[in-house]
Amino acid sequence: MSGSGLVSLVGAGPGDPELLTLRAVARLGEADVVFYDALVDRAALRYAPRARWAYVGKRAFRPSISQDTIQALMIRRALRGERVVRLKSGDPFVFGRGGEEALALAAAGIPCEVVPGVSTAVAAPALSGIPVTHRGLSAAFLVVSGHSEAAFAPVLGSLEPGTATVVVLMGLQTRALVAGRLLSRGWAPGTPAAVLLAAGTSDARTWRGTLAVLGCCELPDLHPSLPGVLVVGASVAVAAQLEALGGPRLTEGGPVGAAAAD
């Protein structure tokens, strides 16, 4: 096993290849093979000119290579002495199954390193002008997966109303359930809320409104498959204040609408 290669679990950030870290770029440049997810911008692969690129999927409700198969492929290539990059959207340890892969590699005796990425949980709001913490408005933020009610219901049900900014990844399809859970917990219907689509890409769009209408907000038919992030909390209102003051606009694309209650 002493001749084994190295597997780097690399975070690609929220979408824009310019948000890759210097270490991520270095690992891509050294790679023999890159296993990359569906949400990774293919432009990031220009940093891996000598590598073989292998697409593995990993989008909800779409065909993907199984997790066990991905892990087996990484182990096989590393045993050949190759340098392997597992390129994931956001950060590999934030809903990216990076922990599972690290454990599988360690069990197989494969040298592994983690290269953190800019997590979409904080980058998507930031690129839309929303701070997840803001003095006087929010001293904490909560990140939860929205892929199923069983995943987020216990956490949201235990959160005191208005005590944190709530960030929901993979929550577009369940936004009505998320909103309903918070409202039933006692959150004010007028709590600011946002839906952030395709943050860090040229398709980026933002909807802002209130928690009362988050569950039924209309998103554009032209973007039915874009990845999205939900944000609920008082600090969402900072984005509108920045716009009114002519502050920085860091996100590409434009708004998709806002509730009349804004």
Name the phi and psi angles at 46, rounded to 5.
-65, -20
Catalytic residues: 37, 58, 170
Do residues 187 and 121 touch, judged by C-beta distance below 8 A? Answer: no
The SS3 of residue 62 is: coil
Q: Which residues pair with 11 in a beta bridge?
A: 88
**How far is residue 92 from each of residues 79, 145, 184, 217, 233, measured CA to CA in Å?**
22, 14, 33, 30, 26
| 109, HSE (Cβ side, Cα atoms, 13 Å) | 6
Do residues 56 and 67 touch, judged by C-beta distance below 8 A? Answer: no
